[in-house]
Structure 1
């Protein structure tokens, strides 16, 4: 070939070999109507969107794990560690797809949108209709959570090598610069996804619809990049296959979004019983009310946990309130207790001049004021002029509260077995509580079931003594069922403790 070019002379040689002239060779996949700068920006924009979607999938699984199984720290650790491990495996596996980067990336984004978008609904369905909610390696949604974490991690991990190959086809760039651009877009996208989940998706759309919308955005972004910018890298058959697959996934996600409301209502009835009346997502937690009308006992679930069992709640609140009010009780502070039931018991004692309720969840207080079942159960305690409500975190409020003001403090707080509430059972918390009490004031603390979790109960007692209190531990047996420390099903079938320790 070289001898043939020599015989034909310089005119037959390629332009790049002619002295004084240079030609930029087009890399595979680069289109004439997308110069390197615009094409590179489009790839990085897709990286940004895909990273945001990937983090939303992770947070969705963590949220469902903590709601349905409890112990948010353990669930978050398991989900995130499995997902990060799977991302590494996915990155290694994606090396085999580098020569078919465009079609591989399109297929991965389509699969990721379907798996990630439907993950929340699938986990909720298994939990609702199988009742599997045991330990972390038990059957049921726990294994399903690990499976979804593994699948999503594999697909997310496979994105980066393929995107690196695609951006190198768009513009000439050293490997270090390409990695920097790619990871900058990835991390910024993760930030946006991480902020969008708690502040936009969860409060305005809910977990199920939020996940489905995220999947839709994911498949649109991935398909648009591949079928638009890199369509010349695909065969006609591959283009049509990706297009049809993307449309099918969009159809599945849209159909699921339309049915999400009915599905969630059916799942709630399966979890909480057939008498569910109210299901509201407040700024703090999900609040579910079951029963409370037509002579049916009212059950209140907060974040999936049975907080008030209408069949037995009176015994619990009498046990929490009455011993503490056996002495002077002109001023009473209730920490938590947004349902108004502890306030109801306090107001039954003569000599009470003021009751201050410090509750984090304003939505729960609104329900306690206006819901006919709950307001009837608390005897319309919030209509009493002696009751004053403050929406605040109890620990933060105590730091600013005046010293020596209250005769009695009632800690009607989430169960100490819940990781998120441990600060409310700390020595600092009790020290601040002791500061707001009068010299002979009294504090009553719900410390969890003695029989089921004795270590937790006696740890609370030891912490109170370390804070300077003289303690009198006691417990009250439940005739029906105790309040669940972890997510339980309807009160009639809940595997919950049958005593309360105070």
Structure 2
């Protein structure tokens, strides 16, 4: 006959409710750790499809291994669960700091990401069997009923985490502090189970388990206190020049640097250089002025929230209206109110001819029926799923519909030297959308050989200039040369990119892999 178990500190019904609450809590924690690893990798590298796939594969497969490893521990489920919670609190809580350090100082991010995801997955996989064993101790119930209750709590935890991460944890705590806070929650879950089943343990076991969890909480608190200087130091190590502005917005990681003793201001989004004030005029003159050689009373700018393309547009006195559509409101705030950037863009966002719209360019085009003489697409390079849709045939079909008769569109298309497949895929995708193209490229020292594609409906638009005053870089001779491509960078037989088949991601990855 089985020995009677010691009494619980609360009624059996309440104990069951607390245990199921613990199931929900650890499910939230495990899911948040996944999201932290995915989000950090996406910020640092782009290519969110790759990050999601690798993290999920490592995490979920390791959960299966953890479930098997938990089987020998079921006889001492309380002690085992407390130990697992202490370990997962440390591993998951410190995951963001560890990954950031491996990227900033060791250049070992990808292997570290896989190891961390697998380790957390093993520990999370141990939790459910141990909790199921503890749930079985609380009264006589059908096993199927207990499994249903446990899985319901587990799945609800995934919902809670999925909502809490983007709307609460990321905006208010960030990834590093958020992971540390969730680690503390894991420790508290361990303390809850320890209190609930304390009478099943010896006094010595209770003291050791309590001390371990409290020590973990102390370690996480210390890490939280050091997180801010750690992040500043790690982030600065990624850039040659001093960081003068840094923030992680809802959409991207925004960093500006300023070289001491010079006027070189640089903007980085998710670690990728967007411009250097030393030569950004070459890029923006080449993006804007060829398209402005035709009719240009109304212009639509998609992306380009730094205001630099607008600066070039506003040179034209006969421009009546320019609409700027930018996804990230913090980028617009920076362009308006940061003195360095506002001086560089000529305070273009305050011009009365400019209408600023905060929103997703793809969705905005779908909801509007306006037509424009010129449409400029000045998006970051297509290195993740979010930006890949902005280089799709479906996007360019929306752009074509937004063109007034005789209108022109220009797309920044990356480097025909470093990523030729991506460049020519953009050109091919524009043609697939029913536009006639005119590719060209110029030298921008900060980027190297950089390309653009101008397109129109009736036929290939001519490369011309009609600027109201001489430009710093672009003239007719430079523009004529820009239309010529050397034999080793001539048109390639590539496929268009679509929402269903975002080929641009693979072309972009292959192009920049060795640089």
TM (normalized to structure 2)? 0.85
Q: Deviation string for 1:277-332 (max 9, x for gaps)? A: 11122232221111178633111111222222223221111111111111111111
Aligned CA-pair RMSD: 2.1
Relative to structure 1, the CA distance from residue 238 to residue 409 in structure 2 (aligned partners, 3 Å threshold; closer, same or farther) is: same
Structure with bigger gyration radius = 1
Q: Give yes or no for contact 2:280–2:444 (8 Å, CA) kept in 1.
A: no
Tell me whether 1:312 sits opposite 2:295 in the alignment.
Answer: no
**Displacement, 1:154?**
0.2
Distance across 2 between alignment mates of 1:230 and 1:213: 25
Unaligned stretches of 5+ in structure 1? 1-15, 17-24, 133-139, 485-494
3-state SS, counterpart of residue 41 of structure 1: helix
Q: Give yes or no for contact 2:416–2:449 (8 Å, CA) kept in 1.
A: no
Q: Name the structure 2 match of 1:170.
A: 138
3-state SS, counterpart of residue 415 of structure 1: coil
**Displacement, 1:497?**
10
Distance across 2 between alignment mates of 1:89 and 1:54: 15
Q: Give yes or no for contact 2:55–2:114 (8 Å, CA) kept in 1.
A: yes
Query: Counterparts of 1:233-272 in structure 2 under 5 Å?
Result: 233-272=200-239
Distance across 1 between alignment mates of 2:93 and 2:327: 31
Which of 270, 283, 298 is the equivalent residue of 1:303?
270
Q: Give yes or no for contact 2:46–2:383 (8 Å, CA) kept in 1.
A: no
Distance across 1 between alignment mates of 2:45 and 2:324: 30
3-state SS, counterpart of residue 295 of structure 1: coil
Query: Counterparts of 1:72-151 in structure 2 under 5 Å?
Result: 72-130=48-106, 132=107, 140-151=108-119
Q: Give yes or no for contact 1:269–1:276 (8 Å, CA) kept in 2.
A: yes
Tell me whether 1:159 sits opposite 2:127 in the alignment.
Answer: yes
Relative to structure 1, the CA distance from residue 229 to residue 93 in structure 2 (aligned partners, 3 Å threshold; closer, same or farther) is: same
Relative to structure 1, the CA distance from residue 171 to residue 272 in structure 2 (aligned partners, 3 Å threshold; closer, same or farther) is: farther
Q: Deviation string for 1:167-222 (max 9, x for gaps)? A: 11122112111110111111111211121111101101111111100001110111
Distance across 1 between alignment mates of 2:8 and 2:293: 85
Q: Name the structure 2 match of 1:477.
A: 443
Deviates more, 1:265-274 or 1:211-220: 265-274
Deviates more, 1:286-295 or 1:304-313: 286-295
Distance across 2 between alignment mates of 1:417 and 1:229: 49
Distance across 2 between alignment mates of 1:311 and 1:171: 73
Distance across 2 between alignment mates of 1:418 and 1:83: 21
Q: Name the structure 1 match of 2:309.
A: 342
TM (normalized to structure 1)? 0.87
Tell me whether 1:54 sits opposite 2:30 in the alignment.
Answer: yes
Unaligned stretches of 5+ in structure 2? 451-510
Relative to structure 1, the CA distance from residue 497 to residue 387 in structure 2 (aligned partners, 3 Å threshold; closer, same or farther) is: farther
Q: Give yes or no for contact 2:305–2:335 (8 Å, CA) kept in 1.
A: yes
Query: Counterparts of 1:356-375 in structure 2 under 5 Å?
Result: 356-375=323-342
Q: Name the structure 1 match of 2:457.
A: none
Q: Give yes or no for contact 1:306–1:483 (8 Å, CA) kept in 2.
A: no
Q: Name the structure 2 match of 1:222.
A: 190
Relative to structure 1, the CA distance from residue 341 to residue 497 in structure 2 (aligned partners, 3 Å threshold; closer, same or farther) is: farther
Q: Give yes or no for contact 2:378–2:411 (8 Å, CA) kept in 1.
A: yes
Aligned residues: 455
Q: Name the structure 2 match of 1:43.
A: 19
Distance across 1 between alignment mates of 2:112 and 2:101: 11
Distance across 1 between alignment mates of 2:231 and 2:240: 13
Tell me whether 1:195 sits opposite 2:163 in the alignment.
Answer: yes
Distance across 1 between alignment mates of 2:440 and 2:404: 23
Q: Name the structure 2 match of 1:13.
A: none
**Displacement, 1:60?**
0.4
